[in-house]
Amino acid sequence: MMKPVSLIALLALLAAPSVLAQPGERETRAERAERMIDRRLDLLDERLDLTAAQEARIRQVFVQHQARLRERADALRADVERRREEMQTRREAERRDPEALRRRRDQEHARMRAEWEALDREIRTVLTPEQARRYEELRREEVRRFQERMRQNRDGRDGDRREGRRIILRKPNSERPR
């Protein structure tokens, strides 16, 4: 286990590139992607004691995974304009059929879950049985933390509603320009 001082030093090193950037300079998408891969690999290496060959293979898996996700994100961005035009029609349909929205969200969640499961399968092929066991523990820990964040976010929103405060995220239809 890392000592708190070592952990703070590691976090400072990871944050250094973004802090040291000149005003007005933004980290490029490729730089940010590489930094995220490095951070993830450092964590896996720390927890799983990866060999150099395993680290190289997992880096390759991360790069491929990131490319697939980037393609998916780019396709989604390109689709935004078409979706904007269809949004009003869809909203009307979803008002008539609230389950349509739920089905659409469930489909997208299933696609993303499948991509993450594929990533996990590829990583596990590189690991020893002991490393795979520790990797599974790490994944469970990450899922637990994610679920906790989601619960906190949900509770925060619900708390505002329970206290009688209404959160307005956009203007009501009557105030929007037509």
122-151 pLDDT, tens digit each? 999 999 999 999 999 999 999 899 899 989
Within a domain: 114: yes
Report the distance separating Cα 123 and Cα 58, nearest Å. 6
Look at residue 7 in the predicted model and tell me its pLDDT.
Answer: 47
Is residue 119 within 8 Å of residue 65, measured between CB atoms?
Answer: yes
Token couple for 129: 């049985």
Report the distance separating Cα 35 and Cα 105, nearest Å. 30
Per-residue burial over 43-80, b if 16 or more Cβ lie within 10 Å, else e, is: ebeeebebeeebbebbbebbeebbeeeeeeeeeeeeee
Is residue 44 within 8 Å of residue 50, measured between CB atoms?
Answer: yes
- Give the type of residue at 141: E
The percent of residues in the chain predicted with pLDDT above 90, rounded, is 35
Within a domain: 168: no
pLDDT above 90 (res 158) = no
Tell me the CA end-to-end span of the chain in Å, nearest whole number.
Answer: 60
Within a domain: 33: yes
Look at residue 1 in the predicted model and tell me its pLDDT.
Answer: 46
Burial class (CB in 10 A: 0-12, 13-18, 19+), 90: middle
Helix (H) or strand (E) holding 153: helix 129-162
47-106 pLDDT, tens digit each? 999 999 999 999 999 999 988 888 888 887 777 777 777 777 777 777 777 777 778 788
Within a domain: 161: no
* Number of domains the chain is built from: 1
Residue 155 backbone phi and psi in degrees, to 5: -65, -35
Helix ranges (DSSP H) in 97-128: 98-126
Report the distance separating Cα 139 and Cα 172, nearest Å. 42
Higher pLDDT, residue 22 or 128: 128
Within a domain: 85: yes
Look at residue 92 in the predicted model and tell me its pLDDT.
Answer: 76
Query: Which range of residues forms the domain containing residue 112?
Result: 27-149
Within a domain: 117: yes
Within a domain: 41: yes
Report the distance separating Cα 62 and Cα 123, nearest Å. 9
Within a domain: 43: yes
